[in-house]
Amino acid sequence: MNIKNKSFISFLIFALILSSVICISGCLGPDENNGDLNSVNESNGSVGKTITVVDDLGRTVEVPSNPQKIGLVGSGSARYMVYLQSVDRIVGVDTTDNSTQTGRESRPYMLSYPEIAKMPLLGSKKAQIDAELALKVSPDVILCSSEGASSIKMADDAMAKTGIPIVCFNQYCPADDFDKFSYNMRLLGTVIGKSERAEEVITFFGSMIDDLSNRVPSTPVDEKPVVYLGGVANRGSHGMISTKPNFIGFNLLKANHKVSEIGDLESSNIGKENILKWDPDILFVDLATRNAAGGGGLVELKTDPSYQTLKAVRNGEIYCIMPDTSCKANHGTSFANAYFVGTVLYPENFKDINASEKADEIYTFLVGKPVFDQLYANTGSLGYSKVDLNTI
């Protein structure tokens, strides 16, 4: 069964469960193993119609139906509001979304809606709520991008102090855990009254997963060229040793990447000795590295004698992708990157793909505007191309 069909079936199941719960009243908890959104309970209270949801952290929260003033907390939390076409309802944001870097911004949703950076703050630190600031902004509901178990106490304490309902969600990667991604999109769509758009977003990502997967040739992985991705941002910009073990451009395309050999899939910095041992045939460099100290991964490849021994460097097989991560993963960019990687690894299977045009197709759907050209300029005009280190 492909992802698109699975998404449709999941939606039907979700709708049936929603109808049952509304009829019988009461709210069921989420299944801890699969993250299904099991119920929504509607009621008419003294302040108007409300719904009850179970958020990603298992918290049962009663929220106003179809809230018009929405506060956001947590790294990159505005991203999903842009996906759900509800920027006009944002009244307060997290510190991570309260600024933008002119000429260097790499978050597509911020390129499309730079006005988000001018919104009032709900806290003085990332993923924190200041009760006084929250009460001043007075949102109908606060959506919190979860930072893990610590978010439970933060959200519960802030609700007790302000009386403002807080719903926690998680920004799961669609390619890594499609079910949990879908659950969170449906959770947000239900809370803000955008369920139809949430289904469109789920279907969009599901279709890309199917399309990318169907383009992979049957060649055994160990017969494919060895690849490596370096320069990935992780709480700041880094050089070549910073990678992304679950990079979808490799995982979905069944590329021959060796990062899993180091064992710790949560690791980001894998050690130069591993790169030298793997001796990649093809190197991909995340352009977030340009903001790292000393110029980042491209400068390292040009100037570090040990890197110059690599096959990819000697043969000029170095390609740049757009910043995959900035305030958590830029899902649209992750998939655009995957299409570009496909044109490099399997040119015959991706001969109908122009990577920059595909990126704009993705951005237009997700963030409302074709922002590739601006992103390209902000990242040194190197994206989706083979790099000549002599020009760096």
Tokens 């969600």 belong to 169
CA distance 255 to 267: 19
Domain membership flag for residue 251: yes
The predicted model gives 322-350 an average pLDDT of 96
The DSSP secondary-structure symbol of 59 reads: -
Statement to judge: residues 285 and 328 lie in one domain: yes
In this structure, is residue 214 part of a structural domain?
no
Contact of 246 with 176, CB cutoff 8 Å: yes
How sure is the predictor about 46, in pLDDT bands with cuts at 50, 70 and 90?
A: very low
Domain extent for 256 = 219-391
Parallel/antiparallel/unpaired status of strands 282-286 and 60-64: unpaired
Tell me the per-residue pLDDT of 122-145, one tens digit each, with 9 for 90 and over.
998 888 999 999 999 999 999 999
Q: What percent of the chain has pLDDT over 70?
A: 86
Tell me how far CA of residue 135 lies from CA of 70, 95, 141, 234, in angstroms. 12, 17, 11, 33
How many distinct structural domains can be found in the chain?
A: 2
Give the whole-number percent of the chain exceeding pLDDT 90: 75
Give the residue from 177, 209, 241 where a domain finishes.
Answer: 209
Residues across the chain? 392
**Predicted structure pTM score:** 0.88
Query: Does one domain contain both 252 and 383?
Result: yes
Identify whether residues 190 and 280 lie together within a single domain.
Answer: no
How far is the C-alpha of 361 from the C-alpha of 363, rounded, in Å? 6
**CB-based contact 38:29 (threshold 8 Å):** yes
Q: Of 367, 13, 362, nearest to 179 (Cα)?
A: 13
Query: Do residues 41 and 157 both lie within one domain?
Result: yes
**CATH (domain of 118):** 3.40.50.1980
Whether residue 275 is contained in a domain is answered as yes
Do 79 and 152 fall within a single domain? yes
Q: Tokens for 209? A: 């997963």
- Edge to edge, the sheet with strand 48-54 lists 40-45, 48-54, 60-64
- 355 or 30: which carries more pLDDT confidence? 355
